[in-house]
Chains A and B, each alone.
Chain A
Amino acid sequence: MNANIGKKVLQPLLIVGFLFGASLIGYIFNINGFPETNIVIIYLLAVHMISWLSSGYFWGILASLGATFIFNYFFTEPYFTFSVYDSSYIITFITMTMIALITGTITSHAKKSAAGARQREAETKAVYNLTNHLTDAKEVYEIVGFAVSEISACFMCRAACLCFREDGFPESFFIQQLSDKRQIRREVDNPEEIKRRIERLSMGCDIGSEFYDWPIYGQEAIHGIVRIPIEVAQEMNIAQTRLLHSMIESIALAMDRLRSTEERIKFREETIQERYRGNLLRAISHDLRTPLSSIMGTAEMLMDMSSKQDIRYSLASEIHKDANWLHSLVENILSLTRLQEGKLIIKKQLEAAEEILGGTIAYIAKQWPSYEISVSVPEELLLVPMDAKLIKQVLINLLDNAIKHTSHDEEISISVTKDADSRWAIFVVRDCGVGISKEDIPNIFQLFYTSNTQHADAKHGIGLGLAICDAIIKAHGGNIEARNRTDKKGAEVIFKLPMEVDNNEHVQ
């Protein structure tokens, strides 16, 4: 601002000074009897100098008119008046004015383009400097640091920058340039408000109480805002705004690049973790199952070696039974781990419901030869989209449960039907056991829920089986419920699987 006032005072002084100087030289020439043409040339030189040193056309024109009048006043007869005797001087005046005008215009035009070139050079240099620094940045606050100091230097202000997080929400603080070497963190008063205002913005910048905020638009999201103090921003001309825009553009590019690098690294880390987790699961499943298999086999050998009345037979048989129980627990834990990570990929295929029931019953019959399970399927073939292995696991868990609560001579049944408008396949597992107590019904599918009503010594697992059923059925887009039978004693578990396939699911 001081510079501006200085300019305003300086330019009239400039005119007065030069014209006075020219007049002085003219006076000397006059005394020495030089021809008047020389004096005219001196005035033209003065006008030229004034145009060169002042800004804008105005001073040049003023100087040329002034020069003509002063020449007229001092150096033409009658002296010290604005009138002339010799009419040929009129031509001298007009020519002089015109030459002065034209040189003045040309000079100031040349000056202007020189200034433009300088300005562009400065812009290019500023953007280049910024980009250069930004390429080295390893993290987002390095970018912010460079950006803020570069913009502050360029616009001679205390610029600031506020980053947005990956979820599109502003951070709680922003970085501001305090002096050449110092930057500070400042608290953001109302991040929500800023977010709202920036998102509403269609172009240009947002005008706040302290700053003008320019958003940094990345490829996918807004990375942050550049804040220019209000008094500087108001004074900015088109060229400066353009410069600021190109600087923000480079910042956006740098932030985009950084984000995609970060994402790539994250993805790679996830892949590695995934592999570790997979290896771990495989190791666990192998290392637990193999010894369990051999425990079961060895127990069987021992049973085979002793007669059924022998106490050793029943001991070995207990070992076998427990190992078997442990084995199914391991299977369930493995399924649960996969399910809970959300990493279990449901591979739906159209399967014949009767085959899944048949296959499951064959498996159960091997484990529990003394139980008879009755099955009913519709006459018409029922093809249901499902992951066969997982549904088999559900059925095994449900039948295991039913068997646990039912004695040998009571009926366990399993059936499948479809509903009236063919939208759901409905599977029902029924037993004739003690049923489910009222307080258990709402919690029965919860993880690690075990009933209090059971005997302390009863082997009832750790509440995994039904939770896994629930997770598997939900992953299929179906639902499962348990209740007591209304026709006789016992419980029934009903689950439904959708017959239709969602559009985003892939069925082979």
Chain B
Amino acid sequence: MNMYNENFLVVEDDMQIRNFICYALKQANFQCVTALTAEEALSHLISQQIDVILLDLGLPDFDGLEIIKRVREWSDIPIIVVSARDQDREKAEALDLGADDYLTKPFSSTELMARIRVALRHLYKQNRDRQQQSSLVVGELRIELDKHLVYLEEKEIHVTPMEYNLLALLFKNIGKVLTTGYIINEIWGAGYGRDTQALRALMAGLRRKIERNPAKPRYIVTEIGVGYRMMDI
């Protein structure tokens, strides 16, 4: 799946999990650099070419969120956050600070690889300048960005301007979790506050148009307590 032997930085203080992640990465022919502390991670970032960061939020020296902040000051490299189950708030915060994705412990190597695929795609698409693309496709769903049209199984479906904006936003971030706060900010603007009710209603309307069963969505899945993700099918 990879030809470039991308170099991963794994920041994780637990040895077993670090071993597990590195094993999985090496199986997939990636390279792996490890760091036990945030300080070590930052020094690796300065001294080496790193393509993707896998970051545990609970580090012994300082908060993992701090690393995201610092890295985002000078780089767009994909950051995947690894966190415990009850850290929803931190997850959302990490995503809002610029992390690309998150994994909840315990996770399987399949899940890890799926996230990495998304992150890499994101990395290369960035380089290809995706603004050039006029049409994006996920499964049977296609969006024409210049004409503001949406097709499902090659049939045009009618969406409201708001629904279109929401869908376009998710399409531009395929595979990535967008927090509810981020989406509200993008669609309604910064002054709108944090009223999730309107977003839930908008999402329900959109799902009824594009999903066969809105409670078993194929395209847009809900990350409870965090946000939404456009699946990369």
A interface residues with partner B (beta carbon < 8 Å): 285-286, 289-298, 300-301, 304, 323-324, 327, 331, 334, 349-352, 354-362, 366, 375-377, 379, 381, 383, 388-389, 392, 508
Contacts and interface: CB of A to CB of B under 8 A. Distances in A.
Interface of B: 14-17, 19-21, 23-24, 27, 58, 84-86, 88, 105-109, 111, 194, 196-197, 200-201, 203-205, 207-208, 213-217, 221-225
Contacts of A301: 19-20, 23-24, 109
A291 B16 CA distance: 8
B221 A362 contact: yes
Nearest to A290: B14
B14 A355 contact: no
A304 B84 contact: no
B222 A359 contact: yes
Given A301-B24, A304-B27, A381 B17 contact: no
Given A289-B85, A301-B24, A350 B14 contact: no
A359 B213 contact: no
B215 A376 contact: yes
A295 B106 CA distance: 9
Contact of A358 (B17, B21, B106, B215): B215
Contacts of B204: 352, 354, 381
B197 A383 contact: yes
A293 B105 contact: yes
Given A290-B105, A376-B215, 7 more contacts: A286-B58, A304-B27, A304-B109, A351-B200, A352-B201, A358-B217, A359-B222
Contacts, number: 113
Contacts of A381: 200-201, 204-205
A470 B176 CA distance: 35
A359 B224 contact: yes
Contacts of B194: 508
A422 B213 CA distance: 23
A300 B109 contact: yes
Contacts of A383: 197, 200-201
22 contacts: A289-B85, A289-B106, A290-B17, A293-B16, A294-B15, A294-B19, A295-B16, A296-B108, A297-B108, A301-B24, A334-B86, A350-B196, A352-B204, A354-B204, A354-B214, A355-B222, A358-B216, A375-B215, A375-B216, A381-B205, A388-B224, A392-B224
Nearest to A327: B106
Contacts of A327: 106
Nearest to B195: A508
The residue among A291, A323, A352, A362 with the most chain B CB atoms within 10 A of its own CB is A352
Contacts of B24: 301
Nearest to A366: B111
Contacts of A350: 196-197, 200
Given A293-B17, A355-B224, A377 B215 contact: yes
B222 to A, nearest CB: 4
A295 B196 CA distance: 38
A356 B109 CA distance: 26
Contact of B108 (A295, A300, A362, A388): A300
A359 B200 CA distance: 14
A334 B86 CA distance: 10
B47 to A, nearest CB: 28
Closest A-B pairs by Cβ, 9 of them: A294-B16, A297-B20, A293-B106, A381-B204, A355-B222, A359-B224, A375-B215, A293-B105, A354-B215
A389 B224 contact: yes
B229 to A, nearest CB: 10
A294 B85 contact: no
A294 B20 contact: yes
A331 B85 contact: yes
Nearest to A360: B224
Contacts of A360: 224
Nearest to B199: A352
Contacts of B21: 297
Given A286-B58, A349-B196, A355-B203, A300 B20 contact: yes
A289 B105 contact: yes
A286 B20 contact: no
Contact of B16 (A289, A298, A356, A362): A298
A326 to B, nearest CB: 10
Given A300-B108, A350-B197, A381-B200, A356 B224 contact: yes
Contacts of A392: 224
Contacts of A376: 215
Contacts of A377: 214-215
Contact of B17 (A294, A351, A389): A294
Given A285-B86, A297-B17, A358 B108 contact: no
Nearest to B223: A359
A231 B107 CA distance: 84
